Structure 1
């Protein structure tokens, strides 16, 4: 990876992490988008996974720790895998699909865990948990879409305007 591209991606990641600390509606965060971004733009699997989860952990240290953290982290690790898939199936339609799929799996996974911890273990309790979480799901989708557009759009625009940001920047011919 070229140095300019590395610094562009690093700056976007830092910006996304900082955005988590700005006042926002519940679940309107950059972390889901950041996990997709890491999976899509980092060839090294460890880096793709470490960046969003480290960002989440560092911001959780400041914001507060909670019992559902292992489930939340596992869910974002799934988003990294979706981003890895996107790496080899690039397209706007696929980006939209994995963004929505990431939001859905986060909603289903974390609220199932919430049901296990805080609701009656009945079908009615499960439905009640998911229904009460719908406003959070709306915010998750809105946050994921907003930050995916920002992160992926910024890289795409930079690559089109400035060849040095491309993954394999063309080298000028020498005489």
Structure 2
């Protein structure tokens, strides 16, 4: 693959990741869209499409960190960092890892990966110690139940919608522009 073809593909992937993550900032302004974000879809997308795996992890992670800083500035008036963010970033890396297993883009493969991404988020982010609570099974169970709706439900719907846009959009673009096709050609 030529260098220009690689640069074009990488640039398009980066722009798509940034555009999707920008929607996370927009969604925070509408309380009903709590957790209806592209976070899981972006992680899966990066894992599936970036040929260089360091880009698969770094580009979406940097986009997430930057969006966190912007969101925190909007709400707190300053750039703040929360300890729980480290767990979220860890979840994000695991979601990207799941995306690396998408060898063939199909609705079923992307949907299955989205469910796994939501489960990763649900089981890790609701651990009691993430929020400074006593680490008991009762607290964990309570947090898991409280998270189902609207948080994890919205995340699953968000992953489905943004996943369809990202994966479907890039597959469509690849079919029209050969410069976007990679060494390992993913197919519908």
Shift in CA distance, 129/118, structure 1 to aligned 2, threshold 3 Å = farther
Map of 2:114 onto structure 1 = 99
Among 96, 110, 116, the alignment partner of 1:80 is 96
User: 8 Å contact 1:119–1:129 — kept in the other structure?
Assistant: no
CA RMSD of aligned residues (A): 1.8
Distance in structure 2 (CA, Å) of the matches to 1:119 and 1:66: 15
Decide whether the 8 Å contact of 1:72 with 1:110 is kept in 2.
yes
Q: Pick from 95, 102, 121: which aligns with 2:135?
A: 121
Q: TM-score, normalised by structure 2?
A: 0.80
In structure 1, what is the equivalent of residue 178 of structure 2? 163
Distance 1:105 1:122 in 2: 19
Greater CA radius of gyration, 1 or 2?
1
Q: Does the alignment pair 1:49 with 2:65?
A: no
Give the match's secondary structure for 1:132: helix
1:16 shift after superposition: 0.9
Aligned length: 165
Which consecutive residues of structure 2, in runs of 5 or more, have no partner in the other structure?
73-80, 184-188
**Deviating 4+ runs (over 6 angstroms):** none
What is the CA distance between 1:4 and its match in structure 2? Answer: 3.5
Determine helix, strand or coil for the equivalent of 1:68: helix
Partners in 2 of 1:7 and 1:94 — Cα distance?
Answer: 25
Partner of 2:78: none
Cα separation, 2, equivalents of 1:66 and 1:122? 22
CA–CA distance in 2 between the matches of 1:50 and 1:163? 25
TM-score normalized by structure 1? 0.85
Instruction: Confirm whether residue 15 of structure 1 aligns to residue 14 of structure 2.
Output: no
Alpha-carbon shift at residue 28 of structure 1 (Å): 1.1
2:20 and 2:169 mapped to 1: Cα distance? 12
